[in-house]
């Protein structure tokens, strides 16, 4: 397993191992125009990981401050916005210490590795986004952990 710092630089080694990177966007502030969580703003689809080439990923969210605002929230790529973490229909169900892996958000403080969504192939450098819709999410915080492997030479995932 190769661990990366927040800039995407490898801390460990072996080629072809799962690599791990964390993306920690600013807190939700959907009551402010174009901030994270503003369903109508420029960050309604917030890029959380920049992908180059073809990769395999497994991703989950960790809530550090309970979300406020009943908006929907999902993680995926353009054209498949809930393809990596299924949509939560009411973001207020994501509370501090929850591990967000699916639409039920029932994993408090721990989630079995087998429960984290199955490995997904992302092709052609499609970036990974968090999407807010229906109602603004006005406060709270989630960071994301992405476990990834390159499928083609030069492919990578970098936190935004």
Q: What is the residue-wise DSSP string for the chain?
A: -EEB-TT--BSS--TTS-EEEEE-PPPP-TTSTTSTT-TTSTTSEEEEEEEES-EEEEEEEEEEEEEES--EEEEEETTEEEEEEEEES-GGG--TTEEE-STT--EES---GGGSPPPEEE-TTPPEEEEEESS---EEEEEEEEEEEESSTT-EEEE-
Q: Give me the domain span that covers residue 129.
A: 2-159
On the question of pLDDT at 11 being above 60, the answer is: no
Region 59-64: what's the mean pLDDT? 96
What is the number of domains present in the chain?
1
On the question of pLDDT at 72 being above 80, the answer is: yes
Position of tokens 């309604």?
44
CA distance 99 to 128: 18
Report the pLDDT value the prediction gives residue 109, as an integer from 0 to 100. Answer: 80
Tell me the whole-structure pTM to 2 decimals.
0.89
Across the beta sheet with 156-159, the strand order is 80-88, 72-77, 128-133, 45-52, 156-159
Structure tokens at 117: 């969504």
């Amino acid at each position: 397993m190769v661990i990366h710092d927040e800039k995407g630089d490898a801390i460990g080694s072996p080629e072809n191992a799962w690599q791990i990177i964390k993306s920690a966007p600013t807190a939700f502030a959907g009551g402010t125009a174009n901030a994270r969580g503003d369903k109508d703003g420029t960050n309604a689809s917030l890029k959380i990981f920049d992908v180059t080439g073809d990769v395999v990923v497994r991703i989950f969210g960790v809530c550090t401050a309970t979300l406020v605002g009943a908006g929907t929230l999902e993680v995926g790529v353009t054209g498949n916005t809930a393809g990596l973490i299924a949509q939560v229909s009411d973001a207020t169900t994501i509370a501090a210490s929850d591990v967000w892996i699916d639409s039920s958000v029932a994993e408090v403080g721990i989630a079995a590795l087998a429960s984290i969504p199955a490995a997904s192939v992302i092709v052609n450098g499609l970036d990974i986004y968090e999407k807010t819709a229906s109602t603004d999410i006005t406060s709270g915080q989630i960071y994301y952990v992405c476990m990834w492997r390159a499928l083609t030479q030069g492919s990578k995932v970098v936190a935004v």
